[in-house]
Amino acid sequence: MSDAPMSDGRPARFDESLMWDAGLRVQLLDEPRLFEWQHHLDRLLVAEGAGHLVHDLPVRADGRGAGLASRPWRLDPIPFVIDAPTFQWLAAAVVERMSALEIVLADLYGPRRLVRDGVVPSDVLHSTHRYRLAMVDAPSPERWLTTYAVDLVRTRDGVWKVVQDLTDAPPGLGYALLDRSVMARVAADVHARSGVASLARYPGLLRRALASASPAESPRTVLFTGGIDHPSYIDHSYLAVQLGVTLVEGADLVVRQRRLWLRTLDGLEPVDVVYRRLEDPGIDPLEVGSMGTVGVPGLLLAVRARGVTLANAHGAGVLEEPTLAASWGDAVRHLNGGPLRLDRYDPATDVGDGLAMTPMLGDTGMSTGEVVVRLFATHDGERTSVLPGGSGRVLAPGDDPRVPTACAAKDVWVIGSTLAPLVVPPLPQVDFGRSVPTRAAAALYWMNRAAERAESIARSVRVISSRIEQDPGLGSLDGGRWSDRMQWVVRSLRRAPDEASDLPGLDALYDELSRAADAVADQIGVLLTEATTVREFLSVTTGRVLEQLARRRADLRRHVVVVDDLDALLTDFAALVGLWNESVVRGPAWRLGDMGRRLERAQILLDMAVPGLTGAVDDRDPVDASSTEVMLAANESLVAYRRRYRSDVEREAATTLLLRDASNPRSLAACVESLAAHAADAGWEAGVVLADTARDAMVLDLDELLPTVQAAVDEYGRAVVARWFAAPVSPMVVVGRS
């Protein structure tokens, strides 16, 4: 497919257009088809569960802000194509480079010949924060580099050059796998018939490489992320799912007895390997002096004590220091006696040559652009393997190739039949079904509580708005008594103070409904923010629903939602509940999430009961009758009521159905039964006692039932947090000196 011969061990000329035979060219450069592909690529990036992460997520359930700015990227439908011979040469160069840099790191932190002989300038090395003095003459890690990435460009004359080495926490592998996943689906026929090298086996190979970094027979590996605020969080979360390892943040980990432990619902579990996606300056605030709370105090102490292995090793990021980049070629020659195959790209001297252009799809049609290609490698202790593909990033005019500003990516296709498939021996099977990080369980708990509250407010707004549309005179009936009561109900749902409005009649109710829509948007924000941190517990289809909710939330914030939009929003919530119940394994994580949902539903019924079900009532009065119907409809029970009683709505029967009837899944009694069952399944005696207290209160009169159940539900919620989410405290008395 290519006429790019090898000369002196390197490609003499590389022209991407020569990689494409006539048939492939027609299929990959068909402009109308490309626009169709672009539409599907955009949609599938959302469907893979990443789309909702690029929206503004302002707050978490515990009140912390989620400083996640919008970071969308678009995948160009035209892949960057490399033929097998060219890729094999590049892969060999990457393997060579990774091996040579491993030797450079060992010297910089060991004998320091490069510094002593003046190859690496001592003043520059010691002035950079990336050089970790604590690692000098410390026990050397078994491996400095488990993973490695390198950015490459090709000049207009076809020469490949290195832009930068990525040795600290090399980002982008998750993006590359995600981009290939959606590209292979959109261009399935072309992808299948063109002999594109598969990436499917690479996650297994990386999993094996990470395991080999530890002496443990069946090591526990976690992927360490900086959390939702990290610029590469999508990359981290997707990669964790593909690897089948636990995604952890600093709060999930703790050092005890010079070992690293994972905080889980069942207690502390040992961690053997940390695949860190968090950059070196942030991993241990005790030694690195990092800002914030993303790191793990004492982590490096545990590493030096061989209580855990870091991949990559602490200090490996010194090779990314720009002021030293020009020294590494000389350093390799000094230690190895020979040059590397790939030269470094120097913008100061290479700018005249220019970079090669590659075809891409612009907003208005076909165009061309410069591309940086990132290749990935991993070392398993015996050999280095290079991902047969990679991630391309399109440069905007004037871009520094090291830091592209454009959010445009390209899938990298390696085409040819000479590539041997990667064979990965299986690791011993381990069941981590009960291993649920405490932070993840808390996120699922608050996610479900926010979802239930948002759904309930949205349904109430929809029911009340629809009732006004159907009977406009209802709002002013009897001096606006119905409007006043509906305002009270809605304020109770959004947990706002009950205070009189300065607006007259229906205007006050419309204002309250507008505030309620804002409350729905806020709760969806909490839901989405928590969901982003527990991707490994949620299905891909759930990601699609979350994306829809993010779009609905944006509309709510712009106040462009009508009744029909609320119907669609409620459908999204129904889909979310269905996926939660049918796609999440019924283990400890699901149990706590469902506890949150049942607690919130119980609290919602209690919030609505006082304004909606108490006080003097005349079932023949149109205001009272309509209010009771709203209560039933807002709790998805009006159809059940009519099917059962086949009569006009009566307050006493409605109260029984909503509060006391455990056969109604929307009732307070049903919520209490579920809470009792969850507590019993968890072996949580205190929770069983509280649920029994609420259950026994169901036979009391309403004026006793509501406060008794309210107290039990409140205490149950506090006890859940204390039992599973609160870190234990051992108080110490500090005695002052006289």
pLDDT tens-digit readout, 36-78: 999 888 888 776 655 444 334 444 444 444 444 444 578 999 9
Q: How far apart are CA 623 and CA 477, in angstroms?
A: 7
What is the Cα gyration radius of the chain?
30
CB atoms within 10 A of CB 256: 12
Chain centre to alpha carbon of residue 177: 15
Confirm whether 61 is domain-assigned: no
pLDDT of residue 12: 45
Residue type, position 38, single letter: Q
* Residue ranges of the chain whose pLDDT lies below 50: 1-9, 12, 51-71, 729-732, 736, 738
* pTM > 0.95: no
The pair of structure tokens assigned to 374 is: 């990132």
DSSP state of 169: S
CB atoms within 10 A of CB 578: 13
Chain centre to alpha carbon of residue 379: 27
The full DSSP string for 173-198 is HHHHHHHHHHHHHHTHHHHHHTTBPP
The pair of structure tokens assigned to 4 is: 């790019």
Read off the pLDDT of residues 387-438 as tens digits, 9 standing for 90 and up.
Answer: 999 999 999 888 888 888 766 899 999 987 655 555 666 666 555 556 789 9
Q: Which of helix, strand or coil describes residue 731?
A: coil
Which phi-psi region, left, alpha or beta, contains residue 421 (left: φ > 0; alpha: ψ -120 to 50)? Answer: beta
The pair of structure tokens assigned to 688 is: 């069983």
Residue type, position 514, single letter: S
Confirm whether 150 is domain-assigned: no
Q: Which of 93, 97, 100 is nearest to 159 (CA)?
A: 93
Strand partners for 386: 377
Confirm whether 568 is domain-assigned: yes
> Where does residue 43 rank: exposed (0-12), middle (13-18), buried (19+ CB within 10 A)?
middle
Q: Which domain holds residue 597?
A: 438-725
Confirm whether 144 is domain-assigned: no
H or E stretch covering 454: helix 438-470
Confirm whether 676 is domain-assigned: yes
Cis before 312? omega within 30: yes
**Is the distance from CB of 702 to CB of 613 less than 8 angstroms?**
yes
Confirm whether 482 is domain-assigned: yes
Q: How far apart are CA 611 and CA 344, in angstroms?
A: 72
End-to-end CA distance of the chain: 87
Q: How far apart are CA 437 and CA 439, in angstroms?
A: 5
Chain centre to alpha carbon of residue 633: 35
Confirm whether 327 is domain-assigned: no
Q: How many distinct structural domains can be found in the chain?
A: 1
pLDDT of residue 290: 58
Confirm whether 555 is domain-assigned: yes
